[in-house]
Amino acid sequence: MDVWITALDALTTLFSVGHFSYLLLGVFVGLIVGILPGLGGLAGLSLLLPFVFGMEPSQALAMMVGLLAITTTSDTFPSVLMGIPGTSGSQATVMDGFPMARRGEAARALSAAFGASLFGGVFGALVLSVAILFARPLILMMGFGEQLMLVLFALTMVGILTGSHPLKGLAACGVGLIMGAIGFATSTGELRMALGQTYLYDGFPLLIIAIGLFAIPEIFEILAQKQSISSSTQQQKLGRGIGEGLRDVIRHKWLVLRCSGIGALIGMLPGLGGVVIDWIAYGHVVQTAKDKSQFGKGDIRGVLAPESANNAKEGGSLVPTLLFGVPGSATMAVLLGGLVLVGIEPGTSMVQENLDLTYTIIWSLALANIVGTLVCILLVRPISKLTTIPYGYIGPVVIVIVFFAAFQATRDWLDLIALFGVGMLGVYMKRFGWSRPALLIGFFLSKGLEDSVYQAVQIYGFSFLERPIVLGLIAVIVLSVTITFLRARKSPRPDTGQGAATRSVRVHQMAFLLVFAALCLWAFGDALQRSYLARIFPLGASLATGALLAVIAYRFVRGGPEDAIHYDEVRTGEGRRALNVYTLWLVAFLGGIYLLGFVLASGVFVLAMIVYELRRLNWQGAVVAVTVSALLLVLSQVLNLRFPPSLLQPILPLLS
Partner 1 sequence: MKSHILAAATTVLVGTAMAGSVQAQDQAVDFDGKRIEMIVPFKAGGATDVYGRFFAGKLSEHLPGNPTVVVSNIPGAGGMPGANQFEARAEADGTTLIAMTVSTQLNWLFEDPAAQFDLKNWRPLILTPQREVALVHTDTGATGPQDIKALQDVELRYADHSVRGLSIFRLLGFDGLGLDVTPVWGVSGGPARIAMERGEITLAFASSAAYRKDYASMVDNGVVTPIFSYGDLDADGNVVRDATFPDLPTYLEVYKEINGKELAGPERALYEMHLQFTGASKSLFLPADTPDAVYDAYVAAIQAILDDPAYAEENARFFGEHRQAVGEQAKANLAQALDLNDELKSHLSGWLKQKYDLDL
Buried b (16+ CB within 10 A) or exposed e, 600-615: bbbbbbbbbbbbebee
Segment near partner 1 (CB under 8 A); pick from 190-198, 302-310, 537-545, 597-605: 190-198
Q: Which of 11, 326, 465, 604 binds partner 1 (CB under 8 A)?
A: 326
Each residue 608-647 as x (binds partner 1 by CB under 8 A) or -, in order, gives --------------------------------x-x-----
Segment near partner 1 (CB under 8 A); pick from 217-225, 410-418, 500-508, 620-628: 410-418
Smallest separation (angstroms) from partner 1 to the CB of 117: 24
Query: What is the rounded distance in angstroms from the CA atom of residue 225 to the CA atom of residue 538?
Result: 40
Is residue 57 close enough to count as binding partner 1 by CB under 8 A? no
Quick one: 143 or 263, whose CB is closer to partner 1? 143
Segment near partner 1 (CB under 8 A); pick from 84-92, 242-250, 385-393, 457-465: 457-465
Query: What is the rounded distance in angstroms from the CA atom of residue 110 to the CA atom of residue 88?
Result: 18
Smallest separation (angstroms) from partner 1 to the CB of 405: 16
Quick one: 184 or 522, whose CB is closer to partner 1? 184
Interactions with partner 1, residue window 144-163 (CB under 8 A): 144
Smallest separation (angstroms) from partner 1 to the CB of 640: 5
User: What is each CA distance from 406 to 5, 144, 204, 638, in whole angstroms?
Assistant: 47, 33, 11, 18
Segment near partner 1 (CB under 8 A); pick from 93-101, 280-288, 456-464, 518-526: 456-464
Q: Which of 12, 16, 293, 458 binds partner 1 (CB under 8 A)?
A: 458
Smallest separation (angstroms) from partner 1 to the CB of 354: 13
Q: Which of 164, 288, 410, 498 binds partner 1 (CB under 8 A)?
A: 410
The answer to whether the beta carbons of residues 425 and 435 sit under 8 Å apart is no
What are the φ/ψ torsions at residue 461 (nearest 5 degrees)? Answer: 65, -140
Query: What is the rounded distance in angstroms from the CA atom of residue 469 to the CA atom of residue 460?
Result: 15
Interactions with partner 1, residue window 328-367 (CB under 8 A): 333-338, 340-341, 343, 345, 347-348
Cβ neighbours of 410 (radius 10 Å): 16
Is residue 563 close enough to count as binding partner 1 by CB under 8 A? no
Is residue 451 close enough to count as binding partner 1 by CB under 8 A? yes
Given phi > 0 = left and psi -120 to 50 = alpha, else beta, which region is 83?
left
Is residue 491 close enough to count as binding partner 1 by CB under 8 A? no
- The 3-class secondary structure across 91-147, one letter per residue, is HHHHHHHHHHHHCCCHHHHHHHHHHHHHHHHHHHHHHHHHHHHHCHHHHHHCCHHHH
Smallest separation (angstroms) from partner 1 to the CB of 355: 16
Segment near partner 1 (CB under 8 A); pick from 168-176, 247-255, 452-460, 567-575: 452-460
Is residue 466 close enough to count as binding partner 1 by CB under 8 A? no
Quick one: 136 or 506, whose CB is closer to partner 1? 136
Query: What is the rounded distance in angstroms from the CA atom of residue 623 to the CA atom of residue 625?
Result: 5
- DSSP letter at 183 equals E
- The 3-class secondary structure across 246-272, one letter per residue, is HHHHHHCHHHHHHHHHHHHHHHHCCCC
Is residue 536 close enough to count as binding partner 1 by CB under 8 A? no
Q: Which of 167, 240, 288, 324 binds partner 1 (CB under 8 A)?
A: 324
Query: What is the rounded distance in angstroms from the CA atom of residue 402 to the CA atom of residue 79?
Result: 12
Segment near partner 1 (CB under 8 A); pick from 163-171, 194-202, 278-286, 420-428: 194-202
Quick one: 107 or 409, whose CB is closer to partner 1? 409
Interactions with partner 1, residue window 242-301 (CB under 8 A): 270
The answer to whether the beta carbons of residues 23 and 364 sit under 8 Å apart is yes
Is residue 46 close enough to count as binding partner 1 by CB under 8 A? yes
User: Counting beta carbons within 10 angstroms of the beta carbon of residue 66, is it exposed (0 to 12), middle (13 to 18) or buried (19 or more)?
Assistant: buried
CA atoms within 13 A on the CB side of 488: 15
Is residue 407 close enough to count as binding partner 1 by CB under 8 A? no
> What would you report as the CA-atom Rg of the chain, rounded to the nearest whole angstrom?
24
Q: Report how far apart the first and last C-alpha atoms of the chain are (Å, whole number).
A: 60
Query: What is the rounded distance in angstroms from the CA atom of residue 352 to the CA atom of residue 326?
Result: 18
3-state secondary structure of 576: helix
Query: What is the rounded distance in angstroms from the CA atom of residue 645 to the CA atom of residue 656?
Result: 7
Nearest to 602 by CA among 423, 416, 389, 421: 416
Segment near partner 1 (CB under 8 A); pick from 179-187, 396-404, 491-499, 588-596: 179-187
Smallest separation (angstroms) from partner 1 to the CB of 572: 43
Is residue 528 close enough to count as binding partner 1 by CB under 8 A? no
Helix (H) or strand (E) holding 17: helix 17-35
- Tell how far CA 538 is from the center of its chain: 24
Smallest separation (angstroms) from partner 1 to the CB of 342: 11
> How many residues bind partner 1, per CB under 8 A?
51
Segment near partner 1 (CB under 8 A); pick from 297-305, 404-412, 417-425, 489-497: 404-412
Quick one: 460 or 594, whose CB is closer to partner 1? 460
Query: What is the rounded distance in angstroms from the CA atom of residue 178 to the CA atom of residue 519?
Result: 8
Interface residue list for partner 1 (CB under 8 A): 42, 45-46, 49-50, 53-54, 139-140, 143-144, 184, 186-190, 196, 198-199, 201-202, 270, 324-327, 333-338, 340-341, 343, 345, 347-348, 410-412, 451, 454-455, 458-460, 531, 640, 642
